[in-house]
A and B are shown apart, each in its own frame.
Chain A
Amino acid sequence: MSENAIELKGICKYFGKVTANDNISLTVKKGEILSLLGENGSGKTTLMNMLSGIYFPDKGQILVDGEEVTIRSPKDAYRLGIGMIHQHFKLIDIFTAAENIILGQEGQSQIINLKAVTADIEKLIHRYGFQLDLNKKIYDMSVSEKQTVEIVKMLYRGANLLILDEPTAVLTPQETEHLFGVLRNMKQDGKAIIIITHKLHEVLSISDRVSILRKGAYIGTVETKDATEQSLTEMMVGEKVSLNIDRPTPHNTRKCLEVKHLTCINKYGVKAVDNVSFTALGGEILGIAGIAGSGQKELLEAIAGLQEGDGSILFTDPATGEEEELLGKDPLEIKKMGVSLAFVPEDRLGMGLVGDMGMPGNMMIRSYRNGKSALLEQRGPRQLSEKVKEELEVVTPSISYPVRRLSGGNVQKVLVGREISNSPKLLMTAYAVRGLDINTSYAIYHLLNEQKEKGVAVVYVGEDLDVLLELSDRILVLCGGRVSGILDARTATKEAIGLLMTKHGEEN
């Protein structure tokens, strides 16, 4: 018996020309939570995939419980008690939670006895304090429920080492708290946990030690109690970084968008946006806060012409000063007027980009209508790709490399870079920094500020309240599709916003 649950020694992994992991060594002790920190494309996910049997290392040793092992497949990983919760959940949509949990398991009998299995799993659920309905189908579940299924699945298989890849990226603050509570219960139980996250305050609150990777190389490990957000960032980025977000004082603001009594029914027949009124000014950033699914998506889509609604959305062209009604116009017309929507969906590749094409091809999706020649205009998209690659530091061997093969964060940089390049008059972004590392997030905040200074009205839907408070000029809080308050970001507090997020406004 060793006190180390797992030890990695000199692990290397290459994908063609790309070096994903270069000589990495780290250890996790039993009953410990280790944070793995690194920017996008620094090789965290790749490294963890070698523990879970998805990839096989090109070089190096893996020791479990002090003994050298070979992990050739997920089956080997399970046998060794290693369970990984991927960023993209590996669940079967049409199965129930219970069916997903017993998937691939050998039971005493070939015939499934769902009742007995359910009772077994219920015990586990109570032991660690999960909340889960085992008979619910996955397609009916929220993201956090799906994540719970994944974790319970691993525990049911007897995992002693749990790896979580960005588990909080899509959770609300409350859900995150609950998850951390469960993780602490597991730690008490002697389980070893590796957690990958970009949110430094979470790293500091949940983990015992932090290991840091940079560009595929191992930088070092520190005790969490000796670390600060600043010191971790410096290790991760390799240079001093200012953690303050600039907020230039708005000047020459003028009305750009006026939404009056907007109500939208979404495709499930639910009133997603309920009597919403606000104005967005050119030259300022309007932050929108709210628990996921409070109507943010429908609101932005209504403005972009992708969603029908009742009420009025008036857009004022800053050049001519003319007012125009946006409701009832088609998305192409609205786009031409200078309204741009950058919505980063949970599935970045599915909605925003074509995986098999390189960067120029993906840039062209937005620009192919431009130009008068019958042939495609190639030069513009190429230049734009080079620019995005350089400014947002996209890690790719060449711009024509298929975006599907890039790491998650890099894929998103391509998506956001393209939307911002449209030089709009009204720029709406939703979850623009979801899953992005600190450096890239700051690059994007900087881009938004640039737009603001140009006089563009920026609408920023965000998840991180700290960022919303530092970046925006005003913050609109949505709760259940209604506006529960509009605050001045310079004086508002996190607690005030949190309260508004869960309480319906009284004035409506």
Chain B
Amino acid sequence: MSFLWAVFKGIFSVTFVQKAITQGIPLLFGATGEIVTEKSGNLNLGTPGIMYMGAIGGLAGAFLYETGTEAPNGLIGILCAILGSLLFSLAGALIYSVLTVTLRANQNVTGLALTTFGVGLGNFLGGSFSKITGTAGQITVYTTGQTFRTRIPFLSDHLGIVGDLLFSYGFLTYLAIVIALLASWFLTRTRIGLNLRAVGENAAAADAASINVTRYKYLATCIGGMISGLGGLYFVMEYLGGTWQNNGFGDRGWLAVALVIFALWKPARAIWGSILFGGLYILFAYVPLSQSMQEIFKMLPYVVTILVLVISSLRNKKENQPPAGLGLPYFREER
């Protein structure tokens, strides 16, 4: 009983919820981006790599700005960081698109290679920045990092527990939720969204309906990649406060891919899914068990994903299945 009580007390605390959300936001960015990408039929397993690229791109942008001026301004730092992040993740997504859409390379192989590349690039550049500033492991872009961490003024301080729960985060947290909601609306309510889903379901049918399959695949993959990349940016800026840790992002990229499945390819579902995953991800720290037992708890998000997969395939509802054309290349004159 005392064991359960300890877990219970840990979970129903403000800090646990805050930490779950903090852990969940990178996953939400990653999953939203991956959902947009997968809706075009591209299974981008390079997302973990792209998130590393988005992270290091943001750091590089802020780093170049802060080392170039005497008194860095936080807002300009934010702009530089976002720009850098978007550019880097766009580059990653472009590599993937050119290889799989134009050259029709195998999507799985390309994605896995891109992940290896992105992680390597991040660690290489991140390590270099620390070397240049001479402070390995310490904050490299302090001003920008702090500005990213700015909480919502007034609301976070004056509403007691509600303020702590809802308003104590940096702006990227809210951006993640807004993007997920927008993506959900875009996919279900707009013509472009309908067309995009058609491309992912059955590219030949979309093509016959005069939808430019190649353009949709490119745009969805690139925009999706940039959204995913913001997850990396969130991690280095808000979570780590503007520094780099080699492999610090860990397996969160794969967790984002798992979250896509958990959310059944619906961005709105990914919002609460990401908080749940975030909570499961840190649950081990709230369980009074030996370290080896805690390791088992770390696989909870994956176990939940597998359960969701089993249940959703048992129910066999067609709308809850992955896009039918996921992973398949499209070539019009193939017969």
Interface residues of A (CB under 8 A from B): 15, 52, 54-55, 73-75, 77-78, 84, 86, 89-95, 99, 102-107, 110-112, 137, 139, 153, 404-405
Q: Give the shortest distance, in Å, between B320 (CB) and chain A (any CB).
A: 10
Q: Bound state CA distance, A423 and B197, in angstroms?
A: 48
Given contacts A102-B191, A107-B191, A405-B335, contact A92 B201 (CB under 8 A): yes
Contact for B191 among A75, A92, A105, A139, CB less than 8 A = A105
Given contacts A74-B208, A74-B209, contact A99 B201 (CB under 8 A): no
Contact for A54 among B192, B202, B332, CB less than 8 A = B332
Tell me if A86 and B192 are in contact (CB < 8 A): no
Residue on B nearest A73 in the bound complex, by CB: B210
Residue on B nearest A139 in the bound complex, by CB: B318
Q: Bound state CA distance, A7 and B318, in angstroms?
A: 43
Does B319 belong to the interface (CB within 8 Å)? yes
Q: Bound state CA distance, A74 and B198, in angstroms?
A: 15
Tell me if B191 and A112 are in contact (CB < 8 A): yes
Residue on A nearest B193 in the bound complex, by CB: A112
Interface residues of B (CB under 8 A from A): 189-192, 194-195, 197-198, 201-202, 204-212, 318-319, 321, 324, 332-333, 335
Given contacts A54-B332, A74-B208, A78-B210, contact A111 B318 (CB under 8 A): no
Residue on B nearest A405 in the bound complex, by CB: B335
Q: Bound state CA distance, A99 and B335, in angstroms?
A: 27
Q: Bound state CA distance, A262 and B116, in angstroms?
A: 60
Residue on B nearest A113 in the bound complex, by CB: B189
Residue on A nearest B190 in the bound complex, by CB: A110
Q: Bound state CA distance, A420 and B223, in angstroms?
A: 54
Contact for A94 among B190, B201, B208, B335, CB less than 8 A = B201
Known: A74-B209, A111-B191. 7 other contacts (CB 8 A): A54-B333, A73-B207, A74-B210, A90-B202, A103-B205, A112-B194, A153-B209
A interface secondary structure, majority: loop
Q: Which residues does chain B contribute within 8 Å of A84, judged by CB atoms?
A: 208
Total contacts A-B at CB 8 Å: 82
Q: Which residues does chain B contribute within 8 Å of A73, judged by CB atoms?
A: 207, 210, 212
Q: Bound state CA distance, A99 and B191, in angstroms?
A: 9
Q: Give the shortest distance, in Å, between A397 (CB) and chain B (any CB).
A: 14
Tell me if B202 and A404 are in contact (CB < 8 A): no
Tell me if B207 and A74 are in contact (CB < 8 A): yes
Q: Bound state CA distance, A200 and B227, in angstroms?
A: 58
Q: Which residues does chain A contribute within 8 Å of B204, judged by CB atoms?
A: 90
Residue on B nearest A103 in the bound complex, by CB: B209
Q: Give the shortest distance, in Å, between B324 (CB) and chain A (any CB).
A: 7
Can you spell out 18 A-B residue pairs with CB atoms less than 8 angstroms apart?
A73-B210, A74-B207, A75-B212, A90-B202, A90-B205, A90-B209, A91-B202, A92-B201, A93-B201, A94-B318, A94-B319, A102-B194, A103-B209, A103-B211, A106-B191, A107-B191, A111-B190, A112-B189
Q: Which residues does chain B contribute within 8 Å of A54, judged by CB atoms?
A: 207-208, 332-333
Q: Give the shortest distance, in Å, between B219 (CB) and chain A (any CB).
A: 15
Q: Bound state CA distance, A394 and B319, in angstroms?
A: 40
Q: Which residues does chain B contribute within 8 Å of A95, judged by CB atoms?
A: 194, 197-198, 201
Residue on B nearest A114 in the bound complex, by CB: B189
Q: Give the shortest distance, in Å, between A308 (CB) and chain B (any CB).
A: 20
Tell me if B206 and A103 are in contact (CB < 8 A): yes
Given contacts A78-B210, A104-B209, contact A15 B318 (CB under 8 A): no
Tell me if B189 and A111 are in contact (CB < 8 A): yes
Q: Bound state CA distance, A489 and B329, in angstroms?
A: 51
Q: Which residues does chain A contribute within 8 Å of B333, judged by CB atoms?
A: 54-55
Q: Bound state CA distance, A265 and B319, in angstroms?
A: 26
Tell me if B208 and A99 are in contact (CB < 8 A): no
Q: Bound state CA distance, A54 and B207, in angstroms?
A: 9
Q: Give the shortest distance, in Å, between A59 (CB) and chain B (any CB).
A: 16
